[in-house]
Structure 1
Amino acid sequence: MKKWLVTLVLFLAVGLLAACGGGDTEEGTDNAGKASESKEIELGATAGPYSDMLSKAIIPSLEEKGYTVKLTEFSDYIQPNNALDNGDIDANLFQHTIYLEDFAEKNNMDLTPLIIVPTAPMGIYSNVYNSLDEVKDGATIAIPNDPTNAARAFNTLQDAGLITVSKDADPLTVSEKDIEENPKNLEFQPIEAGQLPRAVDSSDLSAVPGNFAIAASMDLLDALQLENMDDRYRNVVAVKTDNKDSQLAKDIIEIVESEDFEKIIDEEFKGFGKPTWMTER
């Protein structure tokens, strides 16, 4: 009897351990599987149209692909890249390629533009004239006082036929000294870019960058002339260079290149200029 009881106890004990072990193995597999499928990410943007572009045109599609996405908004143009470089966010959207490359070089960061997105262009606005054909001799025009945006303003004025820039001038660094013809004798008034929306009331014309125009609740389509933007001035989704071939990077590119993305841009971001890859496909 004692031997039978000992045998029975040992049998039950082994069965119990086997059951427990099997349960642990199965749960571990489940947990490992869940961990491997985890797609919790964080994206960053400056508050405004590019934060809206993420929330309306990119994040919903990422969520459809199984990602859990947190969106962080920044109030300056420095912290988004610091956060990306530190690994606090996985990608950001707020800057063009020229700014990104310059910032990364000066701050010893290894960041990469992933894909160019539609961008709010600079526009020539006026509360005095209804068209550029009405511009009178000696008209005043407020332009950005920083070299990068000033070059964009002069390029836009040339496209509008108001000035002629030297053919030898680099489009990225055009300045007033590169102007060869100014038939309307425009008087340029350089001011801080953020003040240009207000200058629409104090000058005959004002060259307002798209982000500042939107921040001031201006309609991009009210511009007398919109910038024919160089792709290097269009905003990009940026990532750390080490992550440029990651699955997240591939998914973001796929989403931005989709017809659904372009449809949302056409409906929600009227006046935004599309990059070359989008207009020529």
Structure 2
Amino acid sequence: MPALPILEKHLIAFILVFVRLGGMMTTAPLFSRKDIPAQVRIFLAVALALLLTPMQLGSSVPSPQGLVAFATLVGGEFLIGIVLGLGLMILIQGMGLAGELISRISGIGMNDVYDPTSETEVTGMSQFVLAIGIVAFLCFSGQRALIGGLLESNRELPIGTVFDSQEVLSLLLTMLQASFVLAVRVAAPAMAALLVVTLVLGLVSRTLPQLNLLILGFGLNGLAAFGIVLLTVGITTSVFEQELMAALDRLFPWGFGL
């Protein structure tokens, strides 16, 4: 076989694998953070693409006829990477949503701060609970499972595979539902504790109406919220692990390869 067609096949396979990895790193947890330099992400994507490209050469590598066909292939690979990364990001953001729920109910959500990584205003509790989720994600080797699942996806979804839009929408909706379930399960203990604190303050206000319970209530609610979150870290990580494993099984039904 002439050298030029072989080189063209290798180059097309490398570009498509690199684009899929780049799409995943655009949306996946940790990799998509703005405080991670773009050069690091590009280097990691190139390194992984160099390792994965030989795996794709054993299967049929598409030969696009024209720029439009090639752009379509690139867009499809980028979409696959985005969907796999975004699905997991949606779930992990459920931890941030849990912190947001706790903040709004306890009244400490009024002290929003600017988060440069997401370029939005968030509450301290939201960032704290989200940090617990990210640490748990690393402790459970979530990043290895994510990369392993993406590596296996190159076997189950060879380059050039066309994604069914209905399946993509169904998958993202399922992950969104799992994210809300995770948020409620994580926030439930703190919400119950805050309800008890509110009832106690109501009884105290009836007994001692001269006390300024408005100021006292904010302090007690904040203290109770942080106290319960700290006391239930073990339960929180256990719940997060359950939802994370279920999410990884949905995103990577072919396994993680690790």
TM range (shorter): under 0.3
Larger Rg: 1
TM-score, with length taken from structure 1: 0.24
Q: Which has the higher helix share?
A: 2
TM-score, with length taken from structure 2: 0.26
